[in-house]
Amino acid sequence: MLTLVTPDVDGWHDYLVGQGVPIEKPPTLNEKFNIYQCFVRDPNGYLIEIQTFLDLAWPRPTPK
């Protein structure tokens, strides 16, 4: 599985639907991990997750 992180899961979902890409799972809140995600499959059958983190502490700043 490949995970793509974006602040706009709904926008990507709408774009992919408009391009005729079959959606494996529409945008959904995953309460266990506090993420918002959707899933599609690439032409070879690999699962692709598009998600955003809902935890305001993510991403954590990197030390300088």
Q: Tell me the pTM.
A: 0.83
Nearest to 32 by CA among 56, 55, 1, 61: 55
What is the pLDDT, as a whole number, of residue 56? 77
Where in the chain are the domains? Answer: 2-53
What is the pLDDT, as a whole number, of residue 32? 93
pLDDT tens, N- to C-terminus, the chain (64 residues): 999 999 999 999 999 999 999 999 999 999 999 999 999 999 999 999 999 999 877 766 677 7
2-53 fold: 2,3-Dihydroxybiphenyl 1,2-Dioxygenase; domain 1 (3.10.180)
- State how far Cα 4 lies from the chain centre: 6
